[in-house]
């Protein structure tokens, strides 16, 4: 007797899990794996028994009984395979409106998985030398196996400090993040770890369940009748002066929705109770009556159709003469590309504790925010009090990633209002599902472009329209759009360009800052152009990238010349460490030998502009206090969110004051130490605050100099003690504003950025053409971080930023219903990268010998620039798909929106199976993430 295969397969994709909780219907078959067990009749090798189980989560397993019965007695050959296909199509139907959408993918996957089982069994026949009708082609061998797993390895290269650098001077040393060990053991204190205050109450938000509706009534009586409930607040409570109910650049963010809602997840009110359970239960008892309004706009396409924009005319950057350039171009190509949003998924969700001090309207806010000054400012405005009564304190965040630059207000203001009105401390930390529903995501973007090129593929002109999905309020969308417009050319010289930016107003929660701030979305368009040009001219994309790469002195489309441009160096070094040309040949060889697995390799450069695009924000302050025992307490405007800012500031002070780090401490960020600070964002936290800390330290060092001179044999503590006795002030403020920047978009003049951070990455992937799954085999990154302040932290930022970008470009996709319900409310639906997704081989090098004269101690900003390098994985996947399509004679450009999820990869690898499920109507575009 011959046993067949027992085989199952898990696909790295999120879609199947999503809708189970939301809706369930009988025809909703969510296939994540298929197990088949086959038994053959000895001698004849016909099928004696076969079990076919298709399943998602346990209760949804489906046995394909009809198919099973049809297959019994059949030979294991192609004819049987075809019969199985037709039968499975009937056995496992899927209604076109089945929850979860992706009908074609799910149906294709059923057959693909069966095909894999078919091949696996053939393979076994072959291994056991059983004579069979059907022979397994050599190229099909690997189709049924997993990815080639190697032992993971990684390397980190950086320059060590000069041998003669003083031991106490920590600048440039790879020292461990100051709270790393505490974070690992759980001792590090986050906002909600603060002990309870006396009389403290808990708040729960009441959220809109409609995307666009009039609020007919709000009835909180049942909630208020619950034991332990203290109050319910809504727009009514902020209607009379001195209170205010709105904030934001154009005052379109309401604390509590007034009269109507324009997004699901919008805050309508807040219940305050003795504890979390009570508050949350009571919040569900608040009855809101709605009258739905038209239209409900979810996607960018909807917004364009309905002309729903924040401003009447787009923002525009114009350089050169595009009309003339297009006329002189050898070819003009059209294209468009889409990128979806990204949930921040910080480990610590939004959290605020507001503590009224009992007199003079004083209030203390503990808030998980990148922007304590804005928290203070807006709280004061809403309560109608002065900023000098409100202190906002931030010890650390469990990640911010831009999500806590402005959207903390959605929670912190209601908490502050409740605390103020009740005159009691109030706390709230959002649950993950609430956080995902209210706080917005990275902006989805759509780019439509026309590029004029020479016959060699050099870009001479580009006309591009960039659209972002801002959600229902403006928030930071203006600046995000601008950064996308500044970065659309990524790292390529385009002498003639027109860039127009449109901010789409939709009925989604307000989208906001997220690592890269529109930059990665813009760069994605430029990279797409490069690939499309390569495909059109039938060349390796590497060649097109190379000839278009910026050179020293080239001017960007916003007229900024590139000085000390290390792009080419990063690029060359990356190609070399990655051994690109040899490995490219190996990839080609692999693809010749494999039909159902394909590899791809891709190199992507990047250039990220450092400075806030809003000039005003490019300033920072510091306050340095020296106590008479010699210990130093530093306060600066920046916040710690895991990026190592405080550690770097201690390093800077250790050099500036010429003392060991043991003397130096940073306790927290607080608005009563340094006023009017900018959000810690735009990657310039260490640039700006580093200079401010340096400034304060230098003032103090000068004051201590006479005491040092008088007592050269003495130590730091001695000089400090004497200075104190001599009545010398031992505190100083420091200040810094970035010089020489300021850009005028109407004239396309002046510099928006102080300098640029450059890098390049090469990634190799393997895809499974039948399931759409993939594995990153290797990534090599080279980045120029000047003289890194702390290579351990900086390499960590590169690795972390890359992995976060990897999620953006391959896995993560917010999923909405056509009526604006957010289906993605937790990790079950929304897949972020896990350990197994880290490239099997991961090499990071910092470029040597490239000091940056524009930032503190010749360093460079690092936080956001590496994120886009993860698009090298996306484009490597695209290369692999290109080869898969070539096997079917499909040549030329094809569309692949980001993220390259398993579903998109599978459907792009068109074959006999996908052909069985034709697209309904290609002219009616619906994004894949808006589903029933
Ligand atoms: N790293 C960690 N661990 N956690 C974070 O929240 N945010 C990123 C980046 N790196 C973030 C991070 C973002 S969006 C920015 S703008 C920078 O850090 C901000 O910090 P910096 O300016 O001090 O680098
Ligand atoms: N980055 C981050 N936050 C910002 C910016 C920026 O460029 N401009 C205004 N807020
Ligand atoms: Mo980062 S998106 O600028 O907070």
Which one of the listed residues 381, 405, 532, 864 is annotated catalytic?
864
- Structure-block tokens of residue 815: 């999923």
Q: What is the pLDDT of residue 483?
A: 98
Task: List residues near ligand 1 (CB under 6 A).
Answer: 399-402, 515, 638, 641-643, 645, 680-686, 797, 800, 863-864
Q: How far is the CA of 507 from the centre of ligand 3 (A)?
A: 24
Residues facing 292 on adjacent strands: 213
Report the distance separating Cα 670 and Cα 763, nearest Å.
Answer: 42
Q: Work out the burial of residue 54: count CB atoms within 10 Å of its CB; fewer than 13 is exposed, 13-18 middle, 19 or more buried.
A: buried
Q: Work out the burial of residue 497: count CB atoms within 10 Å of its CB; fewer than 13 is exposed, 13-18 middle, 19 or more buried.
A: buried
Decide: 350 and 430 in contact? Cβ < 8 Å.
yes
Alpha helices in 658-745 (DSSP H): 685-710, 716-725
Q: Return the ligand 1 atom nearest residue 648 CA.
A: 23
Residue nearest to atom 2 of ligand 2 (CA): 682
Going by DSSP bridges, is the β-strand pair 213-219/287-292 parallel, antiparallel, or unpaired? antiparallel
Which ligand approaches the C-alpha of residue 683 most closely? 1
Decide: 386 and 489 in contact? Cβ < 8 Å.
no
Q: What is the pLDDT of residue 126?
A: 78
Q: Return the ligand 2 atom nearest residue 405 CA.
A: 3
Q: How far is the CA of 352 from the centre of ligand 1 (A)?
A: 20
- Angular region, 105: left φ>0, alpha ψ -120 to 50, beta rest: alpha
Chunked into runs of 10 residues, the chain (932 residues) has average pLDDT values of 40 40 42 70 82 62 82 90 93 78 87 87 78 77 78 95 96 97 96 97 98 98 98 97 97 98 98 98 98 97 97 97 98 96 98 97 98 98 98 98 98 98 98 98 98 98 98 98 98 98 98 98 98 97 98 98 98 98 98 96 98 97 98 98 98 98 98 98 98 98 98 98 98 98 96 98 97 95 98 98 98 93 89 93 97 97 98 98 96 93 94 90 70 82
Q: Is 402 in the pocket of ligand 3 (CB under 6 A)?
A: yes
Report the distance separating Cα 846 and Cα 172, nearest Å.
Answer: 12
Residue nearest to atom 4 of ligand 3 (CA): 402
* Cα–Cα separations (whole angstroms), residue 774 to 859, 875, 899: 36, 13, 13
- Angular region, 889: left φ>0, alpha ψ -120 to 50, beta rest: left
* Full DSSP string of 720-784: HHHHHHTT---EEEEEEE-TT---BTTTTBS-S-SEEEEEEEEEEEEEETTT--EEEEEEEEEEE
Report the distance separating Cα 44 and Cα 42, nearest Å.
Answer: 6
Q: How far is the CA of 485 from the centre of ligand 2 (A)?
A: 13
Q: What is the pLDDT of residue 94?
A: 79
Closest to 81 in 3D by CA, of 913, 931, 928: 913
- Domains of the chain listed by start with CATH number: 5-144 (3.30.390.50), 191-294+344-438 (3.30.365.10), 445-613+748-900 (3.30.365.10), 619-737 (3.30.365.10)
Which ligand approaches the C-alpha of residue 613 most closely? 2
Closest to 335 in 3D by CA, of 905, 892, 907, 921: 892
Closest to 681 in 3D by CA, of 924, 372, 907: 372
Q: What is the pLDDT of residue 421?
A: 98
Q: For 133-146, what is the HEC assignment?
A: CCCCCHHHHHHHCC
Q: Is 857 in the pocket of ligand 3 (CB under 6 A)?
A: no
Q: Return the ligand 3 atom nearest residue 405 CA.
A: 4
Q: How far is the CA of 370 from the centre of ligand 3 (A)?
A: 9
Q: Is 864 a catalytic residue?
A: yes
Neighbours of 675 (CB within 10 A): 14
Decide: 914 and 101 in contact? Cβ < 8 Å.
no
Q: How far is the CA of 680 from the centre of ligand 1 (A)?
A: 8
Q: What is the pLDDT of residue 430?
A: 98
The 8 Å CB, 24+ separation contacts for 890-895 are 892/535, 892/536, 893/335, 893/531, 893/532, 893/535, 893/536, 895/336, 895/337
């Amino acid at each position: 007797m011959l046993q067949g295969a027992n085989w199952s397969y898990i696909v790295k994709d999120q879609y199947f899990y999503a809708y189970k909780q939301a809706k369930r219907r009988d025809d909703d078959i969510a296939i994540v794996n298929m197990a088949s067990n086959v038994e053959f009749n000895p001698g004849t090798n016909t099928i004696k028994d076969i079990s076919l189980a298709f399943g998602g989560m346990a209760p949804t397993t489906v046995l394909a009984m009809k198919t099973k019965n049809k297959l019994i007695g059949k030979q294991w050959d192609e004819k049987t395979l075809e019969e199985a296909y037709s039968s499975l199509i009937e056995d496992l139907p899927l209604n076109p409106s089945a929850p979860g959408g992706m009908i074609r993918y799910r149906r294709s996957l059923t057959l693909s998985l069966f095909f894999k089982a078919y091949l696996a069994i053939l393979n076994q026949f072959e291994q056991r030398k059983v004579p069979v009708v059907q022979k397994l082609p050599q190229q099909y061998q690997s189709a049924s196996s997993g990815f080639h797993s190697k032992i993971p390895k990684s390397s980190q290269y950086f320059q060590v400090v000069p041998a003669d650098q003083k031991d106490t001077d920590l600048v440039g040393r790879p020292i461990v993040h100051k709270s790393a060990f505490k974070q690992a053991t759980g001792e590090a204190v986050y906002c909600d770890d603060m002990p309870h205050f006396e009389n403290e109450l808990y708040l729960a938000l009441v959220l809109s369940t409609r995307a666009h509706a009039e609020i007919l009534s709000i009835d909180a009586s049942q909630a208020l009748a619950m034991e332990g409930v203290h109050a319910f607040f809504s727009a009514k409570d902020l209607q009379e002066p001195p209170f205010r109910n709105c904030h934001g650049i154009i005052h379109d963010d309401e604390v509590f929705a007034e009269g109507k809602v324009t997004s699901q997840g919008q805050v309508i009110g807040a219940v305050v109770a003795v504890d979390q359970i009570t508050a949350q239960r009571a919040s569900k008892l608040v009855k809101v009556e709605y009258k739905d309004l038209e239209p409900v706009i979810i996607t960018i396409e909807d917004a364009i159709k309905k002309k729903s924009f924040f401003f009447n005319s787009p923002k525009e950057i114009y350089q050169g003469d595009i009309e003339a350039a297009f006329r002189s171009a050898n070819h003009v190509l059209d294209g468009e590309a889409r990128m979806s949003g990204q949930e921040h998924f910080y480990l610590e969700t939004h959290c605020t504790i507001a503590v009224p001090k009992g007199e003079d309207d004083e209030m203390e806010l503990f808030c998980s925010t990148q922007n304590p000054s804005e928290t203070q400012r807006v709280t004061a405005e809403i309560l109608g009090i002065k900023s000098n009564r409100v202190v906002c304190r931030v010890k650390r965040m469990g990640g911010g990633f831009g999500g806590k630059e402005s959207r903390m207000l959605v929670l912190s203001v209601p908490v502050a209002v409740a605390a103020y009105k009740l005159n009691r401390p109030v706390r709230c930390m959002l649950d993950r599902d609430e956080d995902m529903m209210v706080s917005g995501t990275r902006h989805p973007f759509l780019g439509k472009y026309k590029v004029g090129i020479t016959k060699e593929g050099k870009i001479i002109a580009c006309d591009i329209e960039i659209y972002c999905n801002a959600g229902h309020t403006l928030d930071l969308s203006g600046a995000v759009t601008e950064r996308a417009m500044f970065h659309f050319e990524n790292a390529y010289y385009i002498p003639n360009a027109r860039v127009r930016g449109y901010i789409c107003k939709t009925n989604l929660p307000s989208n906001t800052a997220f690592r890269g701030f529109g930059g990665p979305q813009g760069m994605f368009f430029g990279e797409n152009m490069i690939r499309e040009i390569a495909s059109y001219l039938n060349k390796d994309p590497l060649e097109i990238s190379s000839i278009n790469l910026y050179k020293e002195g080239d001017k960007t489309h916003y007229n900024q010349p590139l000085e000390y441009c290390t792009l080419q160096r990063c690029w060359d070094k990356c190609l070399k460490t990655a051994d690109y040309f040899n490995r490219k040949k190996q990839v080609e060889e692999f693809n010749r030998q494999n039909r159902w697995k394909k590899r791809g390799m891709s190199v992507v450069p990047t250039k990220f502009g450092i400075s806030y695009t809003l000039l005003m924000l490019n300033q920072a302050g510091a306050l340095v206090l020296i106590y008479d025992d010699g210990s130093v307490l530093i306060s600066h405007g920046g916040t710690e969110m895991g990026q190592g800012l405080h550690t770097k500031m201690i390093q800077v002070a250790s050099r500036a004051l010429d003392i060991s780090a043991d003397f130096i401490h940073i306790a927290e960020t607080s608005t009563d130490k340094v006023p009017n600070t900018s959000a810690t964002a735009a990657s310039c936290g260490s640039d700006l605050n580093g200079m401010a800390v340096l400034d304060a330290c230098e003032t103090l060092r000068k004051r201590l100099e006479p005491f040092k001179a008088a007592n050269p044999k003495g130590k730091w503590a001695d000089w400090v003690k004497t200075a104190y006795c001599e009545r010398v002030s031992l505190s100083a403020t420091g200040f810094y504003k970035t010089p020489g920047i300021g850009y005028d978009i109407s004239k396309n003049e002046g510099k928006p950025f102080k300098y640029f951070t450059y890098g390049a990455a090469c990634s190799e992937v393997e895809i499974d053409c039948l399931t759409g799954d993939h594995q990153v085999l290797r990534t090599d990154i080279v980045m120029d971080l000047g003289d890194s302040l702390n290579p351990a932290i900086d390499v960590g930022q590169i690795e972390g930023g890359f992995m976060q970008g990897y999620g953006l470009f391959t896995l993560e996709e917010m999923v909405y219903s056509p009526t604006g319900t957010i289906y993605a409310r937790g990790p079950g639906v929304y897949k972020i990268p896990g350990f197994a997704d880290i490239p099997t081989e991961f090499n990071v090098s910092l470029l040597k010998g490239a000091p940056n004269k524009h930032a503190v101690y010749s360093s460079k900003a690092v936080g956001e620039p590496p994120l886009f390098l993860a698009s090298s994985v996306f484009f490597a996947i695209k290369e692999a798909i290109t080869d898969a399509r070539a096997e079917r004679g499909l040549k030329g450009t094809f569309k692949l929106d980001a993220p390259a999820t398993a579903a998109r990869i599978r459907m792009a690898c068109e074959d006999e199976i996908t052909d069985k499920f034709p697209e309904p109507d290609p002219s009616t575009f619906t994004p894949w993430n808006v589903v029933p």
